[in-house]
Structure 1
Amino acid sequence: MEPTAQYRDVLSMILLKHAKLTPSHGRIEVFPVLDAERDHYCLVDAGWERGARVHSMIFFARIVDEKIRLEWDGLGYGITQELIEAGIPEGDIVHAWTEPCPPEATRRSMQSEAGVQTAPA
């Protein structure tokens, strides 16, 4: 399978799994948005909490130049490890918030997601 097709499948699988998880508070639904034509993948939530309308983007990634570009990852622990465990090479995962992003920056970002303190390179 070519990388872009594999990345589409993996992102879709992971986001569909996360969409099944619902917040423990409020009446909030979680929705996956899977746009394989434009290679945009989002996880959003919307609903009601304490009498107020709430909505937010939980996760947003794009596939660009055969790499997964993580634009926003609000999953708490981060999705990078799930992508690697699903067979995505670490070098093909770009954390947009650490541009420019060589593989060592991805590792630092993963450690930061896990709460590990690292020194800048």
Structure 2
Amino acid sequence: MDRLDRYRQIIRTVLKPYTDIRYANVNVKNRSAFDTETDQYIILSEGWDKLQHLHGVLIHVEIIDSKVWIQVDGTEDGIAQELLQSGVPKEDIVLGFHEPSIRPLTGFAVA
């Protein structure tokens, strides 16, 4: 298995448990949308809070130029550590939700 295939597998493995989260105070379900052709991996939250429809991206990860970009991370603890623990090296993880001038200060890849 080459490096990118390994990253794809790791991303799916790390993100999949987020589809099992149950919220006590709102009728929302998390759903996965994984596209290995375009290397987009998304966890969507969708449901209802009384009369209000809720729909948003909880997590968005993509592979760009052989690096794992975390574009959105709405989790409590952050998924970067989970990716690290699963075998993605720090130099291959970009915290894309930080503006480019901040990325060198994060200890992760800048692009």
Q: Indicate the TM-score class for this superposition, using the shorter chain for normalisation.
A: 0.7 to 0.9
Quote the Cα distance in structure 2 between the aligned partners of 1:91 and 1:61: 16
How far off is 1:84 after superposition?
Answer: 0.5
How far off is 1:61 after superposition?
Answer: 1.1
Kindly indicate which of the two structures has a greater share of residues assigned to helix: 1
Query: In the alignment, is the contact (CA less than 8 A) between 1:93 and 1:106 conserved in 2?
Result: no
| Partner residue in 1 for 2:79 | 79
The TM-score with structure 2 as length reference comes to 0.87
Over aligned residues, Cα RMSD in angstroms? 1.5
The TM-score with structure 1 as length reference comes to 0.80
Identity %: 25
How far off is 1:59 after superposition?
Answer: 0.7
Superposed counterparts of 1:44-55, under 5 Å: 44-55=44-55
Superposed counterparts of 1:1-80, under 5 Å: 1-80=1-80
Quote the Cα distance in structure 2 between the aligned partners of 1:62 and 1:106: 19
User: Gaps (5+ residues) in structure 1?
Assistant: 108-121
Quote the Cα distance in structure 1 between the aligned partners of 2:64 and 2:16: 21
Do structure 1's residue 105 and structure 2's residue 106 form an aligned pair?
yes
User: Gaps (5+ residues) in structure 2?
Assistant: none
Q: How many pairs are equivalent?
A: 106
Question: Is the partner of 2:61 in helix, strand or coil?
Answer: strand
